[in-house]
Structure 1
Amino acid sequence: MIEHLCIAGFVGELLIRFGACLNRPSSFFRDGWNIFDLAIIVAPLIPGIRENVTLLRLLRLARIVRAFRLFPSLRVILVGIRKSLPGLGSFLLITVLVIYGYAMLGWMLFGKAEPDKYGTVGQAMLSLFLLLSLDGITDILENGRDVTPWAVPYYVSYMVAACFLLTNLLVGLVLTALQEAHEAEQAASRGKQAGPPIPMEPPPVDTTAHHQIAKLREALDALESQLTVTPPTPRTPEQTLQEVVRPTAS
């Protein structure tokens, strides 16, 4: 009964959305979510697909992510998770390398004594991955000491390297990404509150000062033209001798 009521509610919602597009019915089919919802409604009526309609309904739940934009705190968490994905890839690579190295050592140390946990490298990696939670570490350490005295430094170093350092590294990556997302959210909110930037007007031009500078340049040009000395014209020796003789004769 509840399932039929929910289907009836979805059909009513779909009809309301289609009614909102009566002036342009083609716009209803341009929205991918409308087509997807229509497929969810029609799928139970088609034999062969009726049994797998639950998977489509689970995919439909992904649209609830759109509601997160109404809650800034949830949006910050989602953005922080998205920003931490590149760092998480490097973290997973380091974790796999550390677990693989300790799995090789555990296979050599406890492979014969505990074949169910360290019989192969793959089983050893699975056992060490489950040991990250430190569940039953006391019993495991005691059983390892009965096999070899190297069990104590092996498990202690694994706890320090994998359980403590790697776990704190993961927490640090997530917290850093959340902090960056929170700062970006605050910057965006401040930008919305401040509004668009006001265009700066150019400073007023002082025309009087420009006019005085132009007058000074004209005066300097006139002064330079007056101070320019024209070079003397070259004279012949006869002209020079005549100028010298004329004062003597007079």
Structure 2
Amino acid sequence: MLSSLHVKLNAINNNKYFQAFTVVVIILAALTIGAKTFELPDALSGAIQWLDVFILLFFLIEIIIKFFSYQNKLNFFKSGWNLFDTVIVIGSLIPTAGQGILIARLLRVFRVLRLVSAVPQLKLLINALFKAIPKMGYIAVLMFIIFYIYAVIGSLVFSDINEELWGDVSISMLTLFRIATFEDWTDVMYETMAVYPISWVYYLTFIFLTAFVFLNMMIGVVIETMTAEHALAEKDNESELPQLTADHQTRQIFATHQQVQSLHQELEEIKALLKSKPHQ
């Protein structure tokens, strides 16, 4: 009985229409959260409240179906996405009253993120992003070193020109971040060039390193990781299909009319021999 229940729930969980309906409900949940930030008529507010109850019940039923669709229930908790969905659903059950009202509302906002776990393509992107973070971390450390060196130079050279922008290392790093994001960086450069005409070298080399070199390195890491994730996903999909190896030989599936006639004739001869054989 449990085996048949597992098979039925697994079929429901993997049904494309059920998955599509889940995505629609998640989108409705996002819209209801946004609608509550407006001043609405009482009738519409009541309808949204009932819709929110329906969404919560559906999420609860959906997570129960997903849990019991696993033959080994411990495998359910081995997936980070399942744990994320469970936390969101359980958090949404917290009554929105008293001291827990803020936490409950925040968890309801995070229900929108369930769209990521419901769409395989989005899960692939997030998995690639998480796998790219360690490599991006090394690039970030190198960027911090460059920021720190330029911040020290800027504080030592330009602090007399503008104390608000170059007063110390921390303020200089904020100014450099402003330059790296191209936020009115030319005004900062022209201000120092009025005193040090050659200071444009300082800004252009910093922009070249941060905006062009390190940014492209970040993009390259993300693209490389995403390409590897797509290749791995395609390999997993192909592994579910029967594969032909070099040991497999091509076989003729369809027989000709002559071959069928020959086989039929041989069968008739075998039948005749069996009938003519005396019974012992």
1:62 Cα shift? 3.4
TM-score, normalised on structure 1? 0.63
Task: Report the TM-score when normalising by structure 2.
Answer: 0.57
Q: Does 1:57 find its partner at 2:117? A: no
Matched, 1:10 2:61: no
Question: For residues 60 and 102 of structure 1, what CA distance do their matches in structure 2 show?
Answer: 43
Amino acid at match of 2:117: R
**Per-residue displacement from partner, 1:147-204 (whole Å, max 9, x unpaired)?**
22341221121122222111111111111111211221222222223x3788x79xxx
2:34 corresponds in structure 1 to none
Structure 2 residue 230 is matched with structure 1 residue 182? yes
Question: Pairwise mapping of residues 65-84 of structure 1 onto structure 2 (< 5 A)?
Answer: 65-69=116-120, 71=121, 74-84=122-132
Aligned equivalent of 1:40 = 92
Letter paired with 1:41 = L
Q: Which amino acid aligns with 1:6?
A: L
**1:47–1:148 Cα change, 3 Å:** same
Contact 2:155 2:166 in 1 (8 A): yes
Change (3 A) 1:117 1:48: same
Amino acid at match of 1:7: D
Confirm or deny that 1:129 pairs with 2:177.
yes
The CA distance in 2 between the partners of 1:35 and 1:102, in whole Å, is 44
In the alignment, which residue of structure 1 is the partner of 2:144? 96
Q: Deviations over 1:191-244 (max 9, x none)?
A: 223x3788x79xxxxxxxxxxxxxxxxxxxxxxxxxxxxxxxxxxxxxxxxxxx
Larger radius of gyration: 1
Divergent runs of 4+, >4 A: 14-20, 30-36
Pairwise CA distance, 1:48: 2.3
CA deviation map 1:30-89 (0-9, x unaligned): 997668635523412x422234421121233333322122x4xx3432232122111111
CA–CA separation in structure 1 for the residues paired with 2:104 and 2:148: 41
Task: Output the CA distance in 2 between the equivalents of 1:90 and 1:12.
Answer: 44
Rounded to whole Å, the distance in 2 between the matches of 1:85 and 1:177 is 10
* Structure 1 spans left out of the alignment, 5+ residues: 21-26, 202-250
CA distance in 1, matches of 2:179, 2:87: 47
Tell whether 2:168 aligns with 1:117.
no
Tell me the number of residue pairs that the alignment of Structure 1 and Structure 2 aligns. Answer: 189
Distance change >3 Å, CA 149–CA 39, structure 1 → 2? closer
Distance 1:6 1:121 in 2: 53
Decide whether the 8 Å contact of 1:95 with 1:166 is kept in 2: yes
**Structure 2: segments with no counterpart, 5+ residues:** 1-44, 66-72, 249-280
Tell me the C-alpha RMSD between the 2 structures.
Answer: 3.3
Match of 1:165 among 213, 233, 240: 213
